[in-house]
Amino acid sequence: MVAELDARTPFEDAVAVESVGKGRYRAVVDGAWDGPGAPNGGVLAAIMVRAAQAELGSDAPAVRTLSVQFLHAPGHGPVEVGVELLRAGERVAVCDVRMREADRLIAQMTLVCSAPRAQERSLASGPPQAPRFESVDTVDIRNAPGAPPFFSQLVVRPTFGSVMLSGAADAVTGGWLALRDDDAPLDAARLCALCDLWWPAIFSWLISPAATPTLQLTSIFEAPSKTFMVLSWLDLRPVMSKRATLKSAGGCGRLRESCWLRVASWLY
C-alpha cells in the first residue's frame, strides 16, 4: 500500500515511520511542514496513515475513509504512533490509530480499508470546470508576510474564489495543488495531507486574519488508493481542490473540500 520509492522525497521524509515494537511506530514532526503556529493537521494525519499501512501490511485492502480528532498540537521532534487492528480481513480492515508526544495524546484516527466490489451501475459527481494545470500561473506564497512554512513545500495554482482577506460574498477557494519536488505516485497519505494544505475557504470571506486550527478531519477516498499508483506520467501530480465553508458560528466552521485527480488532460 505504500509506494516503493527509489529516492526519498521531502514528503516521504516528513511522514516516515519506524517500527519500535508490535503496533508502535516512531515518527518525527518536521517544522518545515508547519501551518500557522502549529504543525499541519493533514501532515500529522498522513504520518498516522503510514503507521496504519505499515501495521496492516502490503496485502491489506485500500484505504477508503479516515477520521481524525486533533486534541493537542505537538512540538517539533519525536512522536509515537500506536496502531490497534480492530479488524484485519482480506476485504475490510479497521484500525484505531493514536499519536502521542511523551504521555500526551495528540490525535486519534479511525481508518477503514475496503477492497473494491463489483457493481452494475456507478453514481458519482463530476469535477468542476477549470482551466488546465499548464495554463494557470503558479502563485508563490512562500515569501508572503506571515505565510506558514508548508507553502515552501507546495506548487499552488488558484482557479476558484477570491483572494484571501478580500471580504468576498462567498467563502469559496480552490485550484491546482501539488507537492514540490515530489514525483511519487499519489497515495492515501499524500491525498490526506493535500486535503489540509490549502488555506481555509473562509479566508476569502474574512477581511482580517483569524486562527483556524483543524479540530477534526475526515477524508473519503472514492477511488481505491492503489489506483493512484499508476499515475506516473507527470513530473508534478497535481490535484484539483475546491473548498467551501458550509457554516460558521460560535467561532467554529464546517468546511467541505473535494479533490480530483487529473489523468492526461482530464480530471478523475
Q: How does pLDDT run across 76-110, given as a tens digit for each residue?
A: 999 999 999 999 999 999 999 999 999 999 999 99
Q: Averaged over 236-244, what is the pLDDT?
A: 68
Give the domain 10-115+129-267 fold: Porin (2.40.160)
Which residues, at least 6 apart from 245, have a Cβ–Cβ distance to it below 8 Å? 171, 172, 200, 201, 202, 205, 253, 254, 255
pTM (2 d.p.): 0.87
The stretch 246-255 carries a mean pLDDT of 74
**Poorest-confidence range of 165-174, 199-208, 222-231?**
222-231
Question: Which grid coordinates belong to 165?
Answer: 482577506
Q: Tell me: the pLDDT tens digits for 137-165? A: 999 998 888 899 999 999 999 998 888 88
pLDDT value of residue 61? 93
Write out pLDDT tens, residues 186-202. Answer: 889 999 999 899 988 88
Task: Please report the pLDDT score of residue 88 as a whole number.
Answer: 93
Beta-sheet strands, E only, within the chain: 18-21, 24-29, 63-70, 77-88, 92-101, 104-114, 154-161, 172-179, 216-220, 239-249, 252-263, 266-267
SS3 content of the chain, % helix, strand, coil (to 5): 20, 35, 45
Q: Please tell me the distance from the alpha carbon of residue 239 to that of residue 234, in angstroms, as a whole number.
A: 12
pLDDT at 262: 57
Contacts for 104 with CB less than 8 Å, ≥ 6 apart: 72
Residue 3 — pLDDT band, cuts 50, 70, 90?
A: very low
Annotate 49-113 with three-state secondary structure. HHHHHHHHCCCCCCEEEEEEEECCCCCCEEEEEEEEEEEECCCEEEEEEEEEECCEEEEEEEEEE
**Is 157 in contact with 137 (CB distance < 8 Å)?**
yes
Look at residue 231 and tell me whether its pLDDT is greater than 50: no
Confidence of residue 131 (pLDDT cuts 50, 70, 90): confident
230-264: b or e for each residue (b if 16 or more CB lie within 10 Å)?
ebeeeeebbbbbbbbbeebeeeebebebbbbbbee
- At a CB cut-off of 8 Å and minimum separation 6, what does 237 contact? 178, 179, 182, 183, 184, 185, 186, 190, 231, 261
Per-residue confidence (pLDDT) for residue 205, from 0 to 100: 87
The CA–CA distances, whole Å, from 138 to 29, 42, 86, 155, 248 equal 27, 22, 43, 7, 30
Question: Stretch 229-248: mean pLDDT, rounded?
Answer: 55
Residue 236 has pLDDT above 70, yes or no: no
Is residue 229 predicted with pLDDT exceeding 70? no
Residue 1 has pLDDT above 60, yes or no: no
